[in-house]
Structure 1
């Protein structure tokens, strides 16, 4: 039964090594400084040379060594045919090694594969089983040798790496520490005993092994240490004498080495009385007994630990879900519907701030939308200067253009209308950007609404996010509804309080709403139109839109400019300036000069003085009107001149003040209407329609199999956890049987 205990532990150890279990198995860990003789002790116990040797760090990965006693079959006794009664087998490769030199090479290659070539350390163990009739059932873990100073290409923190690795093993309560120390070094300097005491201060689970007893100075011995008078340990000290490097170079056999060791203790004057409690054979028997007793003592703890691990594994397996749903369409449909409902609830809860997983580190969900409205959008609107891109010349030109050929007693409202609309247009860009930011935030919320169960199905999650994204929530509407909705730009309720239902996306609709709202704010500028004008007298200068045709031509012949110039300068027909100067100065049957004089005197003084100057010039030179001279006057008037008159400065400041005041009013309106429109048409609409959209687009039996296609990594992990749970259950059952037999 005792042998079965070690075999059971070995089996569990292999199983949990493959599956990643966390059961702390009873084991013996070999700890010692470099060149303390660890490898020689292990090889002597096995009776074979199989461990790598060399300078510096040779053991760079833990070696879990399981020794399994295999009796020699009776059929092979006395047989002349060669038979293999000893072999090794690694856990990472399915091969039986009968050549122990090949085992050594495999250990080296496996070490290089994981730990690399630069003398680095790896915590991933190598598992080796050795079957032999010359060994006792035993499990040992050979750990890297303790070192102080990096040598050669060793890492600079090699001491910390090795110490951390060794402590990870020996700090476990179920680990028995085999502390190897050289007898020819002061025991107070033993690194292995120092490290063992740090995790086992009372020495209850530490066995001391003294090597190199034959190399002590003449006249000295380790009798006090071996008898426990110097450094007391509950499990005591055992002395061994292994092969020296000279013996190894001389190919001294293991049997000869064991005989030499026995002879050394039997004939040594200090050790002859305790020879039966020292030596490699006694060490192997003692370790076998210690391990079995340790396993027996730890059985209740192992069962309790297994019980806890089974509960954890079962809970983890449940989190992966049941794979049996793939054969039942009804179960698949119920699962899809449940995940849809949970996704929609999480989406709405994140917006409303009622989620159970509210972050305390950063803004999320609806709080970020509120931040966009009040901080980002509000700051962007406040940073816009209403008249920064308007200079005085632009305003003066607009005023002049809006008065036409007549002076105005008051500042023309048409100039204000002309100038304010482009300024109101400046509010469009931040409004549209506000829509984009809120839309991006809603998409982010969709991606964050991922429960642990939904993570099982990446395709379903992708499909849930796609219909939920705002661009897909659309429908159809009649042209009358669209027209009514577009006209109601100052409200936020749309048609009868419903969201827009045209064929465009909701996000595009909100963009249009923002543009239309801003446009409507510009249209609020109401300017009274001039529906009447003074009746033109005969011979007066008419506007461009009312040309006077030359005699003999149709009323619509030629362009407006040509007709006006022909009439004004008297070319190809009579006009106010046509004929001789004397005719223009005196009476005329047509009465044209008198009419012109009266109209000019009652009209614009600037135009009056300009025409009179032209008239005097013509009279003084008695020549045709100089077109270049008139062109210079027109160009000078168009340029506006470098300075403003007092009246122009007053009118410019007044227009600028009106634009700033009206812009501030519109800005406040936009800051109020745009967030309301976004909340109604974008946020609230999405929250209300998300589940209906999901059901309508995804709840289809033909899609269930594809939507519920699990992630391959998750499937592999569930398989591993299922196998681990089965191993826990089997181990618990076996330990229960062993406990019953032992009682």
Structure 2
């Protein structure tokens, strides 16, 4: 188990060098505390050396990632990751380099940086621990500091401690109310149950007389699963006099051992115990995290290998470029076809796409839409009556003229034209939508090629709209060119008459005739006059013989005809009063119009989708690859195959990540082998 932390330090170095440490988080200890909590003293005591910059205000202005590595040799030294070839065996020089590096990252101002400083200290006097020291928490900004310094520090701390793989080392001064501890308040936000927070109580030796930290150490004030450790910080006098760290640690041990309050807890107090506790906690945490880390590393490796496949090799020869171009054309044509046929549709549970959406447009939007069209919506009874009278001309209105029906039904058939064109446009838009959703790695790699492919397909689709619309226009025209009254599904005149009489029965009842005083032949003749005559499938004998009104006052005023040929009337309309015969005629024509319009509706509902499929969808699908080859496949294709900005850099980044992740897997396998050998 002792080798776990060094191996994970090595793993972290590999991830940092491959620039993927931000992707895969490793277990670490993050040190959190306010400026006055004694945070720096605790860290230096753990290391056993004075190496941190000191001063007033904010001294730690960026994260310090500190790795302690126990060695067998007597030499003690430090190495910074930004200058890995430099060895620092003088810890005063380490302090100066931290200052210099901070200035490089932050400048001379009083702001902070999220860029960490990586320092590894090798010593026989330390235990393997990895810690991140963060800037101290401040309440308000002081002169020279940015106004949002408090918020920036708080956000940085939360970013680090929000990681569930992080152990929070919350440092609080024991001579202050623990409920007001800045470190514990922030830790509670991300670790409300205190499962991964360990508390450190400093300044126990300078608490007010008559008070002690026993309740705090026992967790009765602010419970933490990992508990609390009390320590004694070096006094400013000891720091100024450069009292050796060993002498201070001995002094701390004596304080706890001889204290009447803390003597019974002495074996669980002090810097040495804290160091061992942190080492043990980190090892356990790493051990528990190994399966999760392995999975993350493997998943990330697979993702970056996939990226490299997408980016492909850099194209250097003409053959390689033309080969890629042909491959892209084939993939685009195949993807377009498969999307229409439903073989390559993603997110199938979220929305209809491709062929399924086309089918929905045909059978739900279009067919349902034309089914709602009322062929009589714009035809009033007066319109129909006028049409009949106009078709009758000088003749009598004993029969329904067939020409009136044809004129009326022909005027209604064009109502199906606009929905048919709307259907065509919806399918056209869906085909364009399929283009936008084609996912081919090479198209993301070569933006100019992607734009060119899109232009060719859009031009092809647009070129198919004209013949499709022309055919739809002809379908509507053909339906109105010949009214087939012999269609087997057409209701016909006799059935229409019966239906009309049935509907009008409450309005125009047949007169009651005393059959006892009318001879049978006359009754038979009356029946014959009320059915269809042989001259037309459509005509019928009026039930009432029209009477010619001789009295001028019987003609409505607006119907009077002037014989002044110099000023003829502007318009003539029939009287709004209708006879029973006229009502029956109108109702019969309505029934005929509805019947025939339903036949046309079915025809159009069937033929328009077939037209759109044949002229637009299938032709586009069949001609796409040929059109792409014709427009794009040329000997000079360098411009089309220019890589998008950043692709080369992304390829290099992915390649670097793959190398680092493979080395990380090798390190993780060492951990597994070590555990097995234990």
Q: Tell me, yes or no, if structure 1 residue 422 matches structure 2 residue 355.
A: no
Q: Tell me, yes or no, if structure 1 residue 319 matches structure 2 residue 307.
A: yes
- Which one of 442, 450, 469 corresponds to residue 431 of structure 2? 442
3-state SS of the aligned residue for 1:180? strand
Task: Give the CA deviation at 1:160.
Answer: 11
C-alpha distance 166-36 of structure 1, shift in aligned 2 (>3 A):
farther
Task: Give the CA deviation at 1:430.
Answer: 0.5
Task: Give the CA deviation at 1:673.
Answer: 1.3
Alignment partners' CA distance in 2, 1:508 and 1:182? 82
1:317 touches 1:718 (CA, 8 Å); kept in 2? no
Alignment of 1:253-332 (within 5 A): 253=240, 255=242, 261=248, 265=252, 268=255, 270-271=257-258, 283=271, 287=275, 309=297, 312-313=300-301, 315-321=303-309, 323-332=312-321
Task: Give the CA deviation at 1:522.
Answer: 0.6
Residue number in structure 1 paired with 2:482: 524
Residue number in structure 2 paired with 1:333: 322
- Which one of 191, 211, 216 corresponds to residue 202 of structure 2? 211
- Which one of 14, 17, 23 corresponds to residue 15 of structure 1? 17
3-state SS of the aligned residue for 2:111? helix
Q: Tell me, yes or no, if structure 1 residue 707 matches structure 2 residue 665.
A: no
Task: Give the CA deviation at 1:424.
Answer: 0.9
Alignment partners' CA distance in 2, 1:428 and 1:376? 15
Residue number in structure 1 paired with 2:233: 241
Task: Give the CA deviation at 1:671.
Answer: 1.2
1:179 touches 1:207 (CA, 8 Å); kept in 2? yes
Alignment partners' CA distance in 1, 2:396 and 2:256? 137
How many residue pairs match? The answer is: 565
Residue number in structure 2 paired with 1:500: none
Deviations 1:112-137 (A, max 9, x none): xxxxxxxxxxxxx4412579999989
Residue number in structure 2 paired with 1:691: 625
Residue number in structure 2 paired with 1:30: 31
Alignment partners' CA distance in 1, 2:185 and 2:382? 95
Residue number in structure 2 paired with 1:677: 611
Task: Give the CA deviation at 1:710.
Answer: 3.5
1:27 touches 1:141 (CA, 8 Å); kept in 2? yes
Query: TM-score when scaled to structure 2?
Result: 0.64
Q: Tell me, yes or no, if structure 1 residue 472 matches structure 2 residue 481.
A: no
Q: Tell me, yes or no, if structure 1 residue 69 matches structure 2 residue 77.
A: yes
Q: Tell me, yes or no, if structure 1 residue 515 matches structure 2 residue 476.
A: no
C-alpha distance 202-467 of structure 1, shift in aligned 2 (>3 A):
closer
- Which one of 651, 658, 667 corresponds to residue 592 of structure 2? 658
Task: Give the CA deviation at 1:456.
Answer: 3.1
1:43 touches 1:50 (CA, 8 Å); kept in 2? no
Task: Give the CA deviation at 1:4.
Answer: 9.4
C-alpha distance 333-648 of structure 1, shift in aligned 2 (>3 A):
same
Task: Give the CA deviation at 1:236.
Answer: 9.9
Gaps of 5+ in 1: 78-82, 112-124, 474-503, 528-603, 611-626
Q: Give the number of the structure whose alpha-carbon radius of gyration is greater.
A: 1
Alignment partners' CA distance in 1, 2:216 and 2:444? 61
Task: Give the CA deviation at 1:423.
Answer: 1.1
Task: Give the CA deviation at 1:406.
Answer: 4.8
C-alpha distance 316-162 of structure 1, shift in aligned 2 (>3 A):
closer
Residue number in structure 2 paired with 1:553: none
Deviations 1:551-572 (A, max 9, x none): xxxxxxxxxxxxxxxxxxxxxx
1:88 touches 1:129 (CA, 8 Å); kept in 2? no
Task: Give the CA deviation at 1:717.
Answer: 3.0
3-state SS of the aligned residue for 1:712? coil
Task: Give the CA deviation at 1:436.
Answer: 0.8
Alignment of 1:109-508 (within 5 A): 109-111=111-113, 125-129=114-118, 139-143=130-134, 165=159, 167-169=161-163, 171-172=164-165, 178=169, 180-184=171-175, 209-218=200-209, 237=229, 239-243=231-235, 253=240, 255=242, 261=248, 265=252, 268=255, 270-271=257-258, 283=271, 287=275, 309=297, 312-313=300-301, 315-321=303-309, 323-355=312-344, 357=346, 359-407=348-396, 410-452=399-441, 454-469=443-458, 471-472=459-460, 505-508=463-466
Residue number in structure 1 paired with 2:517: none
Task: Give the CA deviation at 1:293.
Answer: 12
2:158 touches 2:186 (CA, 8 Å); kept in 1? no
Deviations 1:693-719 (A, max 9, x none): 22333233323x333334335443332
1:64 touches 1:141 (CA, 8 Å); kept in 2? yes
Gaps of 5+ in 2: 69-75, 80-87, 140-146, 486-545, 553-560
Alignment partners' CA distance in 1, 2:57 and 2:42? 13
Alignment partners' CA distance in 1, 2:370 and 2:604? 9
Alignment partners' CA distance in 1, 2:66 and 2:36? 20
Deviates more, 1:132-141 or 1:326-335: 132-141
1:86 touches 1:131 (CA, 8 Å); kept in 2? no
Residue number in structure 2 paired with 1:41: 42
3-state SS of the aligned residue for 1:64? strand
Alignment partners' CA distance in 1, 2:454 and 2:478? 35
C-alpha distance 226-344 of structure 1, shift in aligned 2 (>3 A):
same
C-alpha distance 355-650 of structure 1, shift in aligned 2 (>3 A):
same
Deviations 1:7-37 (A, max 9, x none): 8577446435x44454555644324578543
3-state SS of the aligned residue for 1:640? coil
Alignment partners' CA distance in 1, 2:620 and 2:387? 46
Alignment partners' CA distance in 2, 1:303 and 1:390? 77
Alignment partners' CA distance in 2, 1:633 and 1:346? 72
Deviates more, 1:441-450 or 1:286-295: 286-295
C-alpha distance 608-696 of structure 1, shift in aligned 2 (>3 A):
farther
Task: Give the CA deviation at 1:417.
Answer: 3.0
C-alpha distance 415-732 of structure 1, shift in aligned 2 (>3 A):
closer
Residue number in structure 2 paired with 1:483: none
Task: Give the CA deviation at 1:383.
Answer: 1.7
Residue number in structure 1 paired with 2:658: 725
Taking only aligned residues, the RMSD between alpha carbons, in angstroms, comes to 6.0
